[in-house]
Amino acid sequence: MATSKPDILIILLQKLMEEGNLLYKKGKMKEAAQRYQYALRKFPREGFGDDLKAFKDLRVSLYLNLSRCRRKTNVSPSLSVPQTVLCF
């Protein structure tokens, strides 16, 4: 993904979240969870720059949405998504 331009990356990650949200509303929990996981894997490790708050907010939303999907499907957390502590 485009990691050199934070504004483009935010748009792409938001698009993945929107796709996941649509799938969630249609009752396709597994597919929605896959979108959220994919977006979380594409997050840059560093270099947020001026868009730090936008990235943090988006990451929190993705984790919350993924959690909703897992609760609905009774799936325990897997090791495919890095387990991180969210720092504010």
Closest-CA residue to 37 (of 58, 18, 12, 62): 62
Q: Letter for the amino acid at 56?
A: K
Residue 17: pLDDT band (50, 70, 90) is: very high
Q: Are 60 and 16 in contact (CB under 8 A)?
A: no
Q: How far is CA 18 from CA 6, 52, 66, 88, in A?
A: 18, 20, 13, 24
Check residue 85 and give its pLDDT: 52
Residue-wise pLDDT for 20-49, tens only, equals 999 999 999 999 999 999 999 988 777 666
The string of DSSP letters for 57-77 reads HHHHHHHHHHHHHHHHHTPPP
